[in-house]
Amino acid sequence: EAQVTQNPRYLITVTGKKLTVTCSQNMNHEYMSWYRQDPGLGLRQIYYSMNVEVTDKGDVPEGYKVSRKEKRNFPLILESPSPNQTSLYFCASSVGQGIGYTFGSGTRLTVV
Amino acid sequence: GENVEQHPSTLSVQEGDSAVIKCTYSDSASNYFPWYKQELGKRPQLIIDIRSNVGEKKDQRIAVTLNKTAKHFSLHITETQPEDSAVYFCAASMSNYGQNFVFGPGTRLSVLP
């Protein structure tokens, strides 16, 4: 089944403890992206990647890192999480430019 | 950068009526406009999209219209059903530059039986 898989689905962590949210897609898509969703703000792009080793900042990249060492994987790294990073995070992939993203199931992150 | 506004923020309609959600964008270079539906607790799902070289696109009960001059686009749902109840998001992007989709804040549609 074609899908975007994120793990974990739920995560509670403490301020400052490094964490990684994994994302993998099995559709051989070129583009991958991370979004965060907060009430009243919609979906805001954190980072996106156009291919292996090619990434670019979205609208809210501060406090996040990404890497794209393999085409299928695009992990999101929070080096020192803070409470304002509590949010619902979605990974997404797309086969090409100008084609809609397919979203993963989401990761609900709480930083205390 | 691009800014996308979306109205209304909430919309209630009677089953069988039509629903219209409107979005405006700021960057005239944007040329791809997808719409997503997000049911409670689920992921956003692409329901329809339109490119700037097209003025209207239909898919069964769903249609999207685009006015490039005025920089706005709209989602039209006809013969609404209870399963249409969800949050709908519009987005805008420049398809010749990466995949930086900018989303609107969303519209919560409730279809009343």
| Nearest CB to A42 within list B51, B98, B105 | B105
Going residue by residue through chain B, which has 113 residues, state the pLDDT in tens, using 9 for 90 and above: 789 999 999 999 999 999 999 999 999 989 999 999 999 999 999 999 999 888 999 999 999 999 999 999 999 999 999 999 999 999 998 766 667 889 999 999 999 99
Provide the pLDDT for residue B98: 61
Tell me the helix, strand and coil percentages in chain A, rounded to 5: 5, 50, 45
Q: Do B105 and A41 touch (CB under 8 A)?
A: yes
To the nearest 10°, report the CA torsion of A13, A38, A60, A22.
50
Least confident of A50-54, A89-93, B5-9: A50-54
Least Cα separation, residue B63 to chain A (angstroms): 16
User: If you average pLDDT over each of A10-24, A32-46, A49-63, B92-106, which comes out highest?
Assistant: A10-24
User: Is the pLDDT at A1 greater than 90, yes or no?
Assistant: no
Using CA of residue A46, residue A50, residue A55, residue A56, what is the dihedral sign?
Answer: negative
Contacts of A90 in chain B (CB under 8 A): 43-44
Contacts of B21 in chain A (CB under 8 A): none
The continuous run of DSSP H or E covering A93 comes out as strand A87-94
Tokens encoding B78: 């006809």
Q: Do A42 and B89 touch (CB under 8 A)?
A: yes
Provide DSSP, B5-17: EEE-SEEEEETTS
Residue whose structure tokens are 């965060």: A36
Q: Quote the DSSP letter at residue A44.
A: E
Contacts of A35 in chain B (CB under 8 A): 103
Using CA of residue B96, residue B97, residue B99, residue B104, what is the dihedral sign?
Answer: negative
- Measure CA B18 to chain center: 14
pLDDT band for A100, please (50, 70, 90 cuts): confident
Q: Do B98 and A45 touch (CB under 8 A)?
A: no
Provide the pLDDT for residue A98: 78
Q: Are strands A54-57 and A65-66 parallel, antiparallel or unpaired?
A: unpaired
Strand extents, DSSP E, chain B? 4-7, 10-14, 19-25, 32-38, 45-51, 56-59, 62-67, 72-77, 86-92, 102-103, 107-112
